C-alpha cells in the first residue's frame, strides 16, 4: 500500500485559485477513478473535480469555503498495489495530465523565471556533470558557501517554520513569490512581503500568510491605524443601523465577484468607451409580444422584451457586423467574426455572470428564447460550465427588469460592444401627429471606439430601434 496526494489542478482557464464549495467524499471513503471529489468555484463557474485514482480517502486538505491555490494538496489517497497511470507520460516540464487540465508541476523548489532587470542571472540548481539544468529555477537555499554540495532530486515543500531566506530566495535577489492577487492584497494592506514567511507549495506566499502576519502583530509599512471611535468599533451608541447589522462589515472579494471586478477594470481602462442613447416607441413590439404569447406555437416559450430585443440586435448585425468584431492587440488587427455568441448579463447569488448563446445568429426566435431560459437557470443554480461563459462576441444587459431607464454599460473584455435595454414605460409620446400614451424604452449602446466608429455604432443602434418600433421591418433587413 502507498499514499498519493492529488493536488488542485489547473482548470485550464488561466486561474490561480479555487474555493471549495462542497466536499462529495469524506475521509475513509473508498473512491473510484472519475468519481467526483468536490465542487470548487473558480472565478468563472462551479466545477466538479474528479478523482484520478481508485483508493481510500486518507485526508481532505481544506474545509468548505476555503480557497486553495492551484497546485496545493486537495486529497490524499491510500492506494493498493502499484501506483496507477493517471494520464500517460509526463510533459516536458514534468507535469502529468489529470482529468481536468494539468496537475501542478513536481515540487522542485521554485518555478523557473527570468532574472530581474539590473541583477545578475541567478545560479541554476544542481544538474548532472557537464549538463546544464534547463528550465529549472535556482535553488532557494543555495549560497556561495554551499556550492558543490549534493542536491536532492526533488526538494521537499518548504515548511512554515523554515528560514525566511529559504522561502524568499534572498540569496538569488528575487522578490518574494506569490500570485498577483496576493501581491495586490499585501500592497493595499501596507505589508512588506519580505517580512512574510510563505507556507504555500514551494514556499509561495498565500493570502492566509499575509493575514497571519498581520494577526501576529506584524505592522503595515504605513502609519498605524488611529483608534476607532466607539461607533466604528461596534458600539452603536443607540443609533439605528441598516437592518440592525454592525456599522461596518468586511465581505471577502473572491470567486465571481473578484473576476467581475478585474474584468471591468481591464475593460474600462483598455477599451475607449463611447455610449449612445436612443428612446424608442415599442408599442408595436409589446403588442406583438402579447400576440405571440397567445399563439399555439409560442405558448410554452418564455418570451420577454429582452428576447425580442436580442433578436433585433441579431438582425441589425447583418447590416453592421462591425459591432461584433474584436480588437487583437498582439496581432495588430481587427478580427471580423461572422458568428454571434450572444452574451447576456444574469444576476445570481454569486454575482454577475455573462453566459452566452453560441451561434445565436442561426437560431429562430423560439430557439433563442429557450437557450436564454436554460442558461439563466444554470446561472442561478451555479451550474454554468466554463464553456458557457467563454467566447462571447456581443452582450445584452437588461437593466429594465430593475425599473431602470438607462445606463452606461461597460463592454465585456474581448468584445466590441454591449447594449442595455431599459424598462418599458407608459408615457406621453408623439404618435401620428398627436400626443398619445405609448410604450417607450431607452436603449444604451457602448462600443469600443478603437474599431467601431460613431457611424457604425449609430447605424446599428438606429436599426435596433427601428426594428423595435416597427417589428415588420425585419422583412426588409433579412
The answer to whether the CB of 421 falls within 8 A of the CB of 265 is no
- Distance between CA atoms of residues 206 and 182, nearest Å: 6
Q: Which long-range contacts (CB under 8 A, 24 or more apart) does 293-298 make?
A: 297/366, 298/365, 298/366
Grid coordinates belonging to 338: 461572422
Which residues make Cβ contacts (< 8 Å) with residue 403, sequence separation at least 6? 423
Please provide residue 81's backbone torsions phi and psi, each rounded to the nearest 5 degrees. Answer: 75, -155
- Distance between CA atoms of residues 47 and 39, nearest Å: 6
Active site residue 431: no
Q: Mind giving me the DSSP string for 276-341?
A: EEEEEE-HHHHHHHHHHHHSSTTTTS---HHHHHHHHHHHHHTT-GGGG-EEETTTTEEE--SS--
Pick the catalytic residue from 61, 273, 431, 449. 449
- Distance between CA atoms of residues 139 and 158, nearest Å: 12
To the nearest 10 degrees (0 to 180), the angle between helices 305-317 and 454-469 is 130
Catalytic positions are 449
Amino acid at each position: 500500500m502507498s499514499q498519493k496526494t492529488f493536488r488542485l489542478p489547473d482548470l485550464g482557464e488561466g486561474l490561480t485559485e479555487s474555493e471549495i464549495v462542497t466536499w462529495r467524499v469524506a475521509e475513509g471513503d473508498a473512491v473510484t477513478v472519475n468519481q467526483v471529489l468536490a465542487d470548487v468555484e473558480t472565478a468563472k463557474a462551479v466545477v466538479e473535480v474528479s478523482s484520478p485514482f481508485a483508493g481510500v480517502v486518507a485526508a481532505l486538505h481544506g474545509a468548505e469555503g476555503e480557497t486553495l491555490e492551484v497546485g496545493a494538496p486537495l486529497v490524499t489517497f491510500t492506494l493498493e498495489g502499484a501506483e496507477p497511470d493517471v494520464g500517460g507520460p509526463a510533459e516536458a516540464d514534468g507535469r502529468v495530465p489529470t482529468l481536468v487540465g494539468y496537475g501542478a508541476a513536481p515540487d522542485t523548489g521554485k518555478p523557473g523565471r527570468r532574472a530581474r532587470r539590473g541583477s545578475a542571472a541567478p545560479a541554476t540548481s544542481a544538474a548532472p556533470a557537464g549538463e546544464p539544468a534547463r528550465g529549472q529555477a535556482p535553488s532557494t537555499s543555495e549560497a556561495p558557501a554551499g556550492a558543490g554540495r549534493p542536491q536532492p532530486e526533488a526538494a521537499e515543500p518548504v515548511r512554515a517554520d523554515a528560514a525566511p531566506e529559504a522561502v524568499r530566495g534572498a540569496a538569488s535577489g528575487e522578490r518574494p513569490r506569490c500570485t498577483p492577487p496576493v501581491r495586490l492584497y499585501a500592497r493595499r494592506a501596507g505589508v512588506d512581503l519580505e517580512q512574510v514567511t510563505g507556507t504555500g507549495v514551494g514556499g509561495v506566499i498565500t493570502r492566509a500568510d499575509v493575514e497571519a502576519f498581520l494577526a501576529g502583530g506584524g505592522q503595515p509599512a504605513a502609519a498605524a491605524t488611529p483608534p476607532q471611535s466607539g461607533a466604528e468599533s461596534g458600539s452603536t451608541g443607540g443609533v439605528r443601523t441598516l437592518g440592525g447589522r454592525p456599522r461596518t462589515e468586511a465581505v471577502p472579494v473572491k470567486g465571481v465577484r473578484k473576476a467581475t471586478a478585474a474584468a471591468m477594470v481591464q475593460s474600462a481602462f483598455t477599451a475607449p468607451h463611447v455610449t449612445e442613447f436612443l428612446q424608442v416607441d415599442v408599442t408595436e413590439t409589446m403588442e406583438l409580444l402579447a400576440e405571440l404569447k397567445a399563439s399555439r406555437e409560442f405558448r410554452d416559450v418564455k418570451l420577454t422584451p429582452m428576447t425580442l430585443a436580442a433578436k433585433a440586435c441579431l438582425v441589425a448585425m447583418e447590416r453592421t457586423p462591425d459591432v461584433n468584431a474584436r480588437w487583437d492587440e498582439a496581432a495588430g488587427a481587427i478580427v471580423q467574426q461572422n458568428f454571434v455568441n450572444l452574451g447576456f448579463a444574469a444576476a445570481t447569488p454569486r454575482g454577475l455572470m455573462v453566459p452566452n448563446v453560441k451561434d445565436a445568429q442561426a437560431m429562430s426566435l423560439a430557439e433563442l428564447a429557450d437557450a436564454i431560459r436554460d442558461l439563466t437557470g444554470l446561472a442561478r443554480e451555479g451550474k454554468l460550465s466554463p464553456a458557457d461563459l467563454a467566447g462571447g462576441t456581443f452582450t445584452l444587459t437588461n437593466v429594465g427588469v430593475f425599473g431602470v431607464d438607462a445606463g452606461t454599460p461597460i463592454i465585456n473584455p474581448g468584445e466590441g460592444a454591449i447594449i442595455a435595454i431599459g424598462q418599458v414605460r407608459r408615457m406621453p409620446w408623439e404618435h401620428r401627429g398627436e400626443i398619445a400614451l405609448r410604450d417607450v424604452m431607452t436603449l444604451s449602446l457602448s462600443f469600443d471606439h478603437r474599431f467601431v466608429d460613431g457611424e457604425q455604432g449609430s447605424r446599428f443602434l438606429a436599426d435596433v430601434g427601428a426594428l423595435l418600433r416597427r417589428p415588420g421591418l425585419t422583412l426588409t433587413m433579412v
